[in-house]
Chain A
């Protein structure tokens, strides 16, 4: 059963993601019982990546380094808002054979996270159709957990 106080935040290097994090920092800093997991997910490399001589290990190394930068930045924001390090954890995942949103939902389910937080990009309908929307996918699947979809206004 999902635990409401276990909060999963999807993070990447975008400003949208950092907005969502600042929102959580403000809301959650005073909630001492809440644990926060920072989740970074990266997709499979493009099909021509290997043709150009790329290797999967090199790709993963690059993505791992990116995740570390994102985690570091996110932890700084949360620490400045008074969230103690003991309440934080990180998870970096490779969405192999899955979409980002499928991997996110799988992590949520595995960890019994009761609350999921994502930032919402301002995308056109065309972009949403072609490139998808993780926040929409989450909203559709939020049956036994709660999703916070954080818009890109300043908080």
Chain B
């Protein structure tokens, strides 16, 4: 393919010519200053915002658990054609959908404005992904995100310890101490009237260099006027469940587990299941009797059988801190 290099500013032409994308591209790269129609911006195209030129080298993917991951066309991976730095760019996508939680539905939204406010708030906070927000030529609020060099929390935990008991003994306390920094981060958001919006075990990345836990993806928002932070609290409970169990356990997992089987399964009652979705077991003490009561009791606040809820992340954080302090 013949490229007309005169279409590009001279300052980016040398790097553009050398860029690996140019070896596989099948069209003349286009320069976009208006990103409104993000579906038309593809591999090899260039986004010109903030006085910089970002060439698209791929797109991020995301899947709900158990569902194949999908390409997110509004979230391209890019290289800065001047500096060579790698970023993820989030373009404006005003998606609205209903999240089904058990028998309940919560209306969820993508909110670029909310994510921009979070990015500004946590600019110097090491427990969050960083980035900046800029307007494109059509006033779309585009976020330019630093890439967190690390891996998902669940992938990280899965590789720790040969058995659950060994993981508990050797690694759990460190995981919980680090998780407490994540919890403090969410408290900071709430104290500033902001939500994370999509707290999941794959939205904490373990930084490769210093193993700090870092929150990613803040663009979801939801509408629950009376309990605006309940979904974030529920998410923290789910992440804690995964950290304590080293995986999530559904009743079927218990039956198949060589150390548990039918005998343990028969002890599980509805009260032991997740308050919201009733699909996973929150009373881990029944699966792992050696789990300290102080930690299991925190989980039970998120179970069907609970009589008491956490009303704030501060309450959750305080109890978790106390429980962690008593661990050997």
Contacts and interface: CB of A to CB of B under 8 A. Distances in A.
B226 A127 contact: no
B305 to A, nearest CB: 9
Contacts of A33: none
B307 to A, nearest CB: 9
Contact of A130 (B96, B224, B304, B306): B224
Contacts of B102: 126
B275 A125 contact: yes
Interface string B88-111: 000000101000011110110101
Name, among A101, A125, A126, the residue most crowded by chain B CB atoms within 10 Å (CB to CB): A126
B109 A130 contact: no
Contact of B223 (A46, A126, A134): A46
Nearest to B225: A43
B107 to A, nearest CB: 6
A126 B111 CA distance: 26
A129 interface: yes
A126 B278 CA distance: 10
Interface in A103-154: 125-134
Interface residues of B, number: 27
A43 to B, nearest CB: 4
Interface string B221-240: 10111111011001000000
A52 B94 CA distance: 10
B234 A51 contact: no
B228 A99 contact: yes
Contacts of B306: 125
Interface of A: 43-44, 46-48, 51, 95, 97, 99-101, 125-134
21 contacts: A43-B226, A44-B225, A47-B109, A47-B111, A48-B109, A51-B94, A97-B193, A99-B226, A100-B225, A101-B226, A125-B275, A126-B101, A126-B102, A126-B103, A129-B227, A129-B234, A130-B101, A130-B227, A130-B276, A131-B104, A131-B230
